[in-house]
Chain A
């Protein structure tokens, strides 16, 4: 009941915000209808299929789906301005493909290469791209990291396709193997957007792009930076330093949890943009 009242109070803000996200009026109405429907219904257990503003979305777990729906479609987390109407996008850490649906909704002509190592999430991603007849999307059931080959992929065994599944050994989880590639091999020309949400591997991915000389091809980046992953060294200065050296500017977003506790994990949002003019 309390949740329902809070949701009702948030509604005016959501209605206002979705008006500024560049969706068509029909799609926005569809989004709001879906949102109301999700609000009214009880959360189903396990995986399933949900209708979302005209799309059919297959998901592994409902909580992650709702979270992504809210962040991407209601809050416009990836709301960026490309220099072309047909942007080339590298989407690393696509999970079930909500980001792919978002980019395709905003830019139907986008060329997207998506990476997702988790088998369960990837199976949803494939169905969501095929089932919604999205063209110009290339899918890779692989992790991006600093090396080609195989990596250990740590999954949450209680939650299929969980958003925190990672190649970084942090909290004890179930280990499995995943194919891994260096992202630099996929950068052959101008990339309008690199979306990087790879649960702690972001530093090695950026290092690979930098040392291979491919960073200059990238125009904009949206990165989720994982600060204080257990067992990982502190090197945000190094990450920003690589961006600065390659001529990128950046804006940061982050919220400090209250009460403040030293060393708490924090998900930072880094938006980086190439300050050099693009080659034509």
Chain B
């Protein structure tokens, strides 16, 4: 995944083209994606810091070019958040939206989607609110500069040293390793009172407590699909992923997992595990 076009290489380009061709999106979007890929990877290579760029027909304001590239590859090229919705206007909650690339992607899939997005990091939030507001003039998107936690209140958000709006800002100091800021935290259950077609969650270590709170409040029953980024081995000696799966099983969810296993096989490695869970009818 990370070798996808970081450098100018024939195989990187070829791989991107193959990935794009495989996607279940109209060919008009495939052409736009390919053009975005060129723009991002070649024309602007070497660019650092914040700025604006057009991605797949959207205006995108970003905090860091490297993060933007990473998000573009994962969300638009690999389409890890692709999901099927019966409705043209699914209700989506996006927890940990960062600069809003996921929101743009959902709007590309379902232009009439109703989206509520959370992002605690103030720098990322500034981009998020521009990207979903004046930048693209979306309707049906609301954004909140808040963190999600098991209890409402003030929490410390540690940022990493990679720059503003970075992707691994977390409550857990060892995950991020940089200075802390105090941000507002809210309970997700307070925002769910009707069916939610998709709950996307990438909240850097807080996922277990937020999911537990959602189950205990009975609101998980209103959610029909989850895209959960589980952060395995934030503490390299703690293995407790079975708890998340048991919670999902007990609430009637089936799931599939996506994760990459490095060779040689070695323990104690940090891993992002994407859990795609769906209500079993």
Q: Kindly list chain B residues whose C-beta atoms are within 8 Å of the C-beta of A258.
A: 22-24, 79, 82
A275–B235 Cα gap in the complex (Å)? 14
Contact present for A220 and B239 (CB under 8 Å)? no
A262–B253 Cα gap in the complex (Å)? 10
**A residues 219-243 with Cβ under 8 Å of B?**
220, 222, 227-228, 234-241, 243
Contact present for B264 and A81 (CB under 8 Å)? yes
Contact present for A271 and B11 (CB under 8 Å)? no
Q: Kindly list chain B residues whose C-beta atoms are within 8 Å of the C-beta of A239.
A: 242
Q: Determine if B222 is an interface residue (Cβ-Cβ < 8 Å).
A: no
Contact present for B242 and A240 (CB under 8 Å)? yes
Q: Kindly list chain A residues whose C-beta atoms are within 8 Å of the C-beta of B263.
A: 21, 75-77, 79
A228–B30 Cα gap in the complex (Å)? 32
Q: Determine if A244 is an interface residue (Cβ-Cβ < 8 Å).
A: yes
Instruction: Name the segment of B54-62, B143-151, B177-185, B270-278 touching the other chain.
Output: B270-278
Contact present for B258 and A256 (CB under 8 Å)? yes
CB-based A-B contact count at 8 angstroms = 118
Contact present for B257 and A237 (CB under 8 Å)? no
**B residues 237-278 with Cβ under 8 Å of A?**
237, 239-243, 245-246, 248-249, 254, 256-269, 271, 273-274, 276, 278
Q: Determine if B154 is an interface residue (Cβ-Cβ < 8 Å).
A: no
User: 0/1 per residue, A236-280, Cβ < 8 Å to B?
Assistant: 111111011000111111111011101110101101010100000
Interchain nearest-CB distance for B259 vs A (Å): 5
- 8 Å CB contact of A249 from B22, B239, B262, B276: B239
In chain A, what residue has the closest Cβ to B266?
A81
Q: Determine if A67 is an interface residue (Cβ-Cβ < 8 Å).
A: no
Contact present for A271 and B261 (CB under 8 Å)? yes
A248–B274 Cα gap in the complex (Å)? 21
A232–B128 Cα gap in the complex (Å)? 43
Contact present for A256 and B276 (CB under 8 Å)? yes
A271–B232 Cα gap in the complex (Å)? 13
Q: Kindly list chain A residues whose C-beta atoms are within 8 Å of the C-beta of B82.
A: 258-260
Contact present for A240 and B241 (CB under 8 Å)? yes
Interchain nearest-CB distance for B114 vs A (Å): 21
A119–B133 Cα gap in the complex (Å)? 66
Interchain nearest-CB distance for A221 vs B (Å): 10
Q: Kindly list chain A residues whose C-beta atoms are within 8 Å of the C-beta of B83.
A: 260
Contact present for B267 and A249 (CB under 8 Å)? yes
Known contacts A237-B245, A260-B83; is-contact A253 B259 (Cβ 8 Å): yes
Q: Kindly list chain A residues whose C-beta atoms are within 8 Å of the C-beta of B152.
A: none
A80–B261 Cα gap in the complex (Å)? 12
A266–B232 Cα gap in the complex (Å)? 20
Interchain nearest-CB distance for A43 vs B (Å): 23
In this complex, how many residues of chain B approach chain A with their Cβ under 8 Å: the count is 42
Interface size class of A (residues with CB under 8 A): 35 or more
Contact present for B84 and A12 (CB under 8 Å)? no
In chain B, what residue has the closest Cβ to A255?
B258
Q: Determine if A9 is an interface residue (Cβ-Cβ < 8 Å).
A: yes
Q: Kindly list chain B residues whose C-beta atoms are within 8 Å of the C-beta of A238.
A: 242, 246
Q: Kindly list chain B residues whose C-beta atoms are within 8 Å of the C-beta of A253.
A: 259-261
A250–B271 Cα gap in the complex (Å)? 10
A222–B265 Cα gap in the complex (Å)? 9
In chain A, what residue has the closest Cβ to B277?
A262
Q: Kindly list chain A residues whose C-beta atoms are within 8 Å of the C-beta of B242.
A: 236-241, 243-244
In chain B, what residue has the closest Cβ to A265?
B256
Q: Kindly list chain A residues whose C-beta atoms are within 8 Å of the C-beta of B273.
A: 252
- 8 Å CB contact of B254 from A240, A254, A263: A263
A243–B242 Cα gap in the complex (Å)? 9
User: 0/1 per residue, B81-105, Cβ < 8 Å to A?
Assistant: 0111000000000000000000000
A-binding residues in B (CB < 8 A): 11, 14, 22-24, 79, 82-84, 232-233, 237, 239-243, 245-246, 248-249, 254, 256-269, 271, 273-274, 276, 278, 280
B-binding residues in A (CB < 8 A): 9, 12-13, 21-22, 75-77, 79-81, 220, 222, 227-228, 234-241, 243-244, 248-256, 258-260, 262-264, 266, 268-269, 271, 273, 275
- 15 A-B residue pairs with CB within 8 Å: A9-B11, A21-B263, A76-B263, A76-B264, A77-B263, A79-B263, A228-B254, A241-B242, A251-B259, A251-B267, A252-B271, A258-B23, A258-B79, A259-B84, A266-B257
Known: A75-B263, A250-B239, A275-B267. 18 other contacts (CB 8 A): A9-B14, A22-B264, A220-B265, A236-B242, A238-B246, A240-B242, A249-B233, A251-B266, A252-B257, A254-B256, A256-B276, A258-B24, A260-B82, A260-B83, A260-B276, A262-B278, A263-B254, A263-B278
* Shortest Cβ-Cβ A-B pairs, 3 listed: A253-B261, A237-B245, A240-B242
